[in-house]
Structure 1
């Protein structure tokens, strides 16, 4: 019983970590990565599609992304979508590919990105704590229904807390790494 609850809590906490990693990957830190465009959605023939389903995205240089659509007709739509996105980068369209020059970050922008990273990390921590609360509630319900003893319930809650501490530590490590990446010039 308790093992099932612990396993489920661990799976959910792991998912929270994965979401945080994805969020961090899409943050622009002065280095060009195709992940920057993951959230950019293009309206193409009346359908909303991610850029990576319409084109090949490559980073030939540290500060340059090249988007090469499989259909040249998608160039304009991709360009519009990038302009509408919150990337703050102006695309250059040469008729066959779109180039995105990633400008170096100012110190002010770096500080803003650190704040955003901290906010995302805090959201992950809150999600993990909510998972802990749910798991503890389920253990207390088992205890209340006399399915498990009080001692087993206490041990189960201690295990949930250990899991929580482990995942919160992982969030903190990811945040520290991201902050270092953002602040490195």
Structure 2
């Protein structure tokens, strides 16, 4: 891969990483720490994600256990979790832990989640195309300034399109895998 194109690879990777985080927060039939780890809690005069305040475990397929390291913030953690409207679950406090039970997904819930998934995938595809267009503009500008020959320009553009296609394919694969998990009963 040409070093010029290689310089922009981290931008493509960053877009893919962001999608991974987004997909982790979409509920499937199983509980996952990613569903709640980034929920923001108002505590210690600041806002912090749960993953920085507590240990999160999944003892059963549809249960998440949150155990704050500082037992005095359990109420604040529970309040923040209950505010999260896109996930329906029942929360119960026991001693110094918070247990979240996720009900099974209905067919309607699954279809809604697939729509949300499609929206997130499309945003990622748009981001990849935006990065590709930005790099394409730079290649054309450098070719006009005679920093690249016409042959180099076309080779770089072809390489850039190949890279963007690779990332688009990865996005599609991630989406198909997540959809399969959502639709599994």
What TM-score range do you get, normalising by the shorter chain?
over 0.9
Paired residues, what number?
184
Could you tell me how far 1:94 is from its partner in structure 2?
A: 2.0
Task: Say whether the 8 Å CA contact 2:39–2:80 is kept in structure 1.
Answer: yes
Asked whether 1:9 is paired with 2:8, we answer yes
TM-score by length of 1: 0.95
- Give the CA deviation at 1:139: 0.5
Matched, 1:43 2:42: yes
Q: Distance in 1 between matches of 2:157 and 2:71?
A: 58
Q: Does 2:179 match 1:179?
A: yes
1:112-171 C-alpha deviation (Å, 9 max, x unpaired): 111111111111111100111011101001110011111110111011001111110111
Aligned partner of 2:72 in structure 1 is 73
List gaps (5 residues or longer) in structure 2. Answer: none
1:62 aligns with 2:41: no
Give the structure 2 partner of residue 160 of structure 1: 160
Task: Could you list the structure 1 runs, at least 4 aligned residues long, displaced by more than 4 angstroms after superposition.
Answer: none
User: Is the Cα–Cα contact under 8 Å of residues 29 and 181 in structure 2 kept in the other structure?
Assistant: no
* Cα RMSD after superposing both structures: 1.3
Q: Could you say what secondary structure the match of 2:58 adopts?
A: strand
What is the TM-score when the length of structure 2 is the normalising length? 0.95
1:33-182 alignment runs, 5 A limit: 33-86=32-85, 87-182=87-182
Unaligned runs of 5+ in 1: none
